[in-house]
């Protein structure tokens, strides 16, 4: 397995330049690399989400998994597909669509690979209906730090034999092992699509509309809010003594229906009535499902009903999208944002804020993951069991793991 110096390629991970780069093409080669080297290793796929974890404390070897690019097995009748880690979601989607099927994950990063999506736990708007990686991944094979290849799960949707290690590898940024292949539960491609778009003029309204949808019998595949925040300006503009604490949140809410034609039509009409307005569009607007950019980009998670509180806690100049009924939002906030204060403000709602993107220069002063949970000791023990020498993605996980 060739390992070559990294410098000419100019690749880096959050500002850290790797010494060498390896691009294996089989799981056996991945195992070989890990067995035959001693140094620190940072696994990446296409590299679209390397900013989602903290910068590594060291990177002797950048391990690219893009060479593992085979779709190993697709059993349309069983709605299951087995792919190697380097397969790109887009190309997998195209292949599956020929059979009227899909892997119901829709993170937007162009060129993203299956392995990177698992490692970063990336998702998109349709998580409302289909869930995230942890809900769709039914089997996984990894190469551990010592070169051992191990699988967990299987190739059937229902399976409770043994611990479900896929859950642990999801969102672990390669820190427990290098994902080399994955088995997924698939869904049928919906026949028809339609949206209802409603303008939103403040945070409370965003919350009210989302709650109406969440409590209704409508079955949208996504409910996405685009928002711009100007809280302080709005507060200044408010007349003193007014009981309404005006929130400077504006945007629009998109309700996406994907089903058979008759259902999309009936549900869109019902949504207009329920929300008291809006327009029907065939396709979602261009911002739908895209991540915000600029400044510091955060992923926020919180109790779904706390959406208005979270929007109000964001600093002026923030903008982004929220997967409204699930309690997840992506926000671009100014570089001057006091992250600790923001985290404290959303904490009562089980809220958290994780950095996804920031200029390399700004990284140094950033607390990437935020405070550690009370299970951090246990997380450390898990990390130490899987990677006792701390050679995989060192420092990239929460608390510097």
Partner 1 sequence: MTQPQVDDRTRDPGRTGIADDGTAPSARMVRLAERLRERIGADKVLTDPAQLRTYECDGLAAVRVRPGIVVLASHRDDVVQTVRSCAEAGVPFVARGSGTGLSGGAIPVADGVLIVLSRLRQIVSVDPDNARVVVEPGVINLWVSREAAPYDQAYAPDPSSQQVCSIGGNVAENAGGAHCLKYGFTVNHVMGAEVVLPDGEVVRLGGTASEHPGLDLLGAFIGSEGTLGVATQVTVRTIRIPETVQTMLVGFHSVRDAAGTVSDIIASGIVPAAIEMMDALAIEAAEAAVQCGYPQGAVAVLVIELDGPAVEVDEQFRQVRELAEARHAFETRIARDAAERALMWKGRKSAFAAVGRISPAYYVQDGVIPRTRLPEVLEEIGRLADEAQMRVANVFHAGDGNLHPLILFDDAVPGAAHDAERLGGAILDLCVDLGGSITGEHGVGVDKKSKMARQFAGEDLDTMQLVRCAFDPDGLANPGKLFPTPRLCGERPGVRTAADTPDPALGEVF
Span 325-344, contacts to partner 1 by CB under 8 A: 326-328
> Nearest approach, Cβ of 315 to partner 1 (angstroms)?
20
Query: 270, exposed or middle or buried, with CB in 10 Å at 0-12, 13-18, 19+?
Result: middle
Cβ distance to partner 1 smaller for residue 19 or 187: 187
Determine which residue in the list 7, 28, 150, 341 makes contact with partner 1, applying CB under 8 A.
150
Q: Does 162 bind partner 1 (CB under 8 A)?
A: yes
Q: Which of residues 298-317 bind partner 1 (CB under 8 A)?
A: 299, 301-306
In sequence order, the 6+-apart residues with CB closer than 8 A to the CB of 128 are 220, 221, 222, 223, 323, 325, 326
Binding residues with partner 1: total (CB under 8 A):
90
Determine which residue in the list 83, 195, 259, 268 makes contact with partner 1, applying CB under 8 A.
259
Q: Does 263 bind partner 1 (CB under 8 A)?
A: yes
Q: Does 72 bind partner 1 (CB under 8 A)?
A: no
Q: Does 206 bind partner 1 (CB under 8 A)?
A: no
User: Is residue 255 a contact partner of residue 270, using CB atoms and an 8 Å limit?
Assistant: no
Cβ distance to partner 1 smaller for residue 36 or 375: 375
> Nearest approach, Cβ of 286 to partner 1 (angstroms)?
26
**How far is the CA of 131 from the CAs of 107, 162, 181, 247, 341, in angstroms?**
12, 22, 20, 31, 30
> Nearest approach, Cβ of 241 to partner 1 (angstroms)?
30
> Nearest approach, Cβ of 57 to partner 1 (angstroms)?
17
> Nearest approach, Cβ of 5 to partner 1 (angstroms)?
32
> Nearest approach, Cβ of 21 to partner 1 (angstroms)?
27
Q: Select from 331, 122, 89, 289 the least CA-distant residue to 195.
A: 289
Q: Which of residues 82-141 bind partner 1 (CB under 8 A)?
A: 100, 121, 131-132, 134-135
Q: Does 392 bind partner 1 (CB under 8 A)?
A: no
Cβ distance to partner 1 smaller for residue 304 or 315: 304
Q: Does 268 bind partner 1 (CB under 8 A)?
A: no
> Nearest approach, Cβ of 390 to partner 1 (angstroms)?
15
Q: Does 193 bind partner 1 (CB under 8 A)?
A: no
Q: Which of residues 1-30 bind partner 1 (CB under 8 A)?
A: none
Give the neighbor-by-neighbor strand order of the sheet with 149-153: 71-75, 80-84, 178-185, 137-143, 149-153
Q: Does 272 bind partner 1 (CB under 8 A)?
A: no
> Nearest approach, Cβ of 399 to partner 1 (angstroms)?
8
Determine which residue in the list 351, 356, 363, 395 makes contact with partner 1, applying CB under 8 A.
351
Determine which residue in the list 36, 148, 233, 245 makes contact with partner 1, applying CB under 8 A.
148
Q: Does 184 bind partner 1 (CB under 8 A)?
A: no
Stretch that binds partner 1, among 36-44, 231-239, 245-253, 257-265 (CB under 8 A): 257-265
Q: Does 161 bind partner 1 (CB under 8 A)?
A: yes
> Nearest approach, Cβ of 132 to partner 1 (angstroms)?
8
Q: Does 75 bind partner 1 (CB under 8 A)?
A: yes
Stretch that binds partner 1, among 40-48, 88-96, 209-217, 226-234 (CB under 8 A): 209-217
Stretch that binds partner 1, among 84-92, 109-117, 228-236, 391-399 (CB under 8 A): 391-399
Quickly tell me which residue has 């339609």 as its tokens.
Answer: 194
Q: Which of residues 26-65 bind partner 1 (CB under 8 A)?
A: none
């Amino acid at each position: 397995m060739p390992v070559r110096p990294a410098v000419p390629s100019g690749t880096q991970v959050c500002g850290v330049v790797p010494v060498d780069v390896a691009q294996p093409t089989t799981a056996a080669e991945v195992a070989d690399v890990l067995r035959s080297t001693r140094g620190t290793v940072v696994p990446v796929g296409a590299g679209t989400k390397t900013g989602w974890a903290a910068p590594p404390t060291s990177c002797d070897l950048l391990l690219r998994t893009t060479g593992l690019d085979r779709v190993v097995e697709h059993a349309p009748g069983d709605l299951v597909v087995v792919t190697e880690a380097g397969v790109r979601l887009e190309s997998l989607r195209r292949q599956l669509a020929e059979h009227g099927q899909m892997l119901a994950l829709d993170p937007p990063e162009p060129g993203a690979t299956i392995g990177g999506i698992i490692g970063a736990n990336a998702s998109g708007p349709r998580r409302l209906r289909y869930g995230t990686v942890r809900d769709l991944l039914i089997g996984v094979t990894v190469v551990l730090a010592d070169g051992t290849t191990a699988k967990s799960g299987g190739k059937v949707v229902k399976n409770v034999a043994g611990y479900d290690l896929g859950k642990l590898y999801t969102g672990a940024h390669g820190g427990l092992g290098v994902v080399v292949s994955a088995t997924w539960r698939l869904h049928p491609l919906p026949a028809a699509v339609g949206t209802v778009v409603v303008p939103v003029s403040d945070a409370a309204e965003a919350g009210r509309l989302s709650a109406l949808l969440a409590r209704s019998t409508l079955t949208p595949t996504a409910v996405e809010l685009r928002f711009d925040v100007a809280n302080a300006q709005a507060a200044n503009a408010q007349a003193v003594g007014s009981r309404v604490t005006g929130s400077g949140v504006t945007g629009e809410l998109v309700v996406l229906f994907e089903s058979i034609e008759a259902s999309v039509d009936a549900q869109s009409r019902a949504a207009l009535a329920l929300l008291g307005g809006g327009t029907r569009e065939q396709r979602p607007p261009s911002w739908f499902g895209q991540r915000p950019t600029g400044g510091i980009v955060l992923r926020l998670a919180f109790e779904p009903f706390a959406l208005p509180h979270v929007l109000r806690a964001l600093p002026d100049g923030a903008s982004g999208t929220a997967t409204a009924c699930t309690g997840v939002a992506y926000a671009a906030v100014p570089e001057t944002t006091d992250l600790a204060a923001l985290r404290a403000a959303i904490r009562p709602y089980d809220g958290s804020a994780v950095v996804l993107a920031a200029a390399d220069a700004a990284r140094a002063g950033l607390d990437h993951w935020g405070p550690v949970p009370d299970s951090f000791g246990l997380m450390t023990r898990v990390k130490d069991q899987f990677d006792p020498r701390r050679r995989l993605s060192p420092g990239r996980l929460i608390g510097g793991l």
